[in-house]
Structure 1
Amino acid sequence: MVSNISRVLLVEDNPAHAKLMMRTLSEFSQSLDVDHVSDGEAALAYLFHTGKFEHKTQLPHLVLLDLRIPKFDGLTVLGRIKQDPALKQIPVVILTTSDADSDVREATDRFANSYLVKPIEYLQFVNLMRSVGAYWTELNHRASS
């Protein structure tokens, strides 16, 4: 059984990280749709179908969320997702450079499904993203939507 992950929202303000993440995720499925936004305000507009995303009809099956993003930080976005009845079942994976205990604790308190620290070294970052892709697109089971 496949995990049914076909839409991912990537919330990442670093263009190099975003490009690497999208390229690595594309290795798992030609049909994997990855939408990228670079700040918390755009992420919330996407998820709540407002602003330029008001005509977006489908929600993502997975959110990959950086903590250090402009406008609204990742913890704020995470909190809004997990407080909303229509969004709270969407898995949210924190992908950040912060390994601070306070950030891990706050993300856990706001019901992050996973907390991963981005490695500085390129190959380790690629391998991390391959692991994320394999887990969420091939190994993880979720209920059909």
Structure 2
Amino acid sequence: MLVEDDPGDAGLVRAAFASSRFVCRIDHISDGVEAMKRLRALALEGTHVLPDLILLDLNMPKKSGHEVLVEMKADAALKDLPVVVLTTSDAERDVAAAYHSGASGFVTKPVDVDALFEAIQGILEYWFGVMRLPVNRP
């Protein structure tokens, strides 16, 4: 799941996913309120439909990425989902707050398109090539 309010950034992330060796379905949500609604609805449908990974922007309308992260980690059905913050911020306070709130990773979006593609490829390689995710979630 990609939670990103900027359509240009979302398009670049989608293109980076499409060029990877992994076959991924991307559910793009453009604000934090809708992200929480969608995640809670998916949790009610059953754990097998929850996303394997969430890429979360911090600066969004209606509900910030920080707020989404705190809500997710407080929800028993969502707390174990891996969340990588993918944001333009490189402020230490944002990095620290994200990890304190339960983020699995923090990546500052590179301005350069090629560097952004490399960053996304690195995220995908780590989460789907190196890490092992549970098949059956609790």
- Whether TM-score is above 0.5 comes out as yes
Residue 33 of structure 1 aligns to a residue whose secondary structure is coil
Residue 2 of structure 2 aligns to a residue whose secondary structure is strand
More helix by percentage:
2
Scaled by the length of structure 2, the TM-score of the pair is 0.89
Aligned pairs (5 A) from 1:38-77 = 38-49=30-41, 58-77=49-68
Measured after TM superposition, the shift of residue 139 of structure 1 is 1.3
Report the number of matched residues: 133
Scaled by the length of structure 1, the TM-score of the pair is 0.85
Residue segments in structure 2 that go unaligned for 5+ positions in a row: none
State the partner residue of 1:28.
21
State the partner residue of 2:71.
80
Cα distance in 2 for residues equivalent to 1:29 and 1:44? 26
State the partner residue of 1:104.
95
Residue segments in structure 1 that go unaligned for 5+ positions in a row: 1-8
State the partner residue of 1:139.
130
State the partner residue of 2:10.
18
Measured after TM superposition, the shift of residue 66 of structure 1 is 0.2
Residue 106 of structure 2 aligns to a residue whose secondary structure is strand
Measured after TM superposition, the shift of residue 121 of structure 1 is 1.1
**Residues 1:100 and 1:81: Cα distance change in structure 2 (over 3 Å):** same
Residue 68 of structure 1 aligns to a residue whose secondary structure is coil
RMSD in angstroms over aligned alpha carbons? 1.7
Moved over 4 A (4+): 53-57
Residue 95 of structure 2 aligns to a residue whose secondary structure is helix
Cα distance in 2 for residues equivalent to 1:111 and 1:54? 19
Q: Report the residue type matching 2:57 in the other structure.
A: D
State the partner residue of 1:6.
none
The answer to whether the 8 Å contact 1:24/1:129 transfers is: yes
Out of 102, 109, 114, which is 1:118 matched to? 109
Between the two structures, name the one with larger relative contact order (CA 8 Å, sep ≥ 6).
1
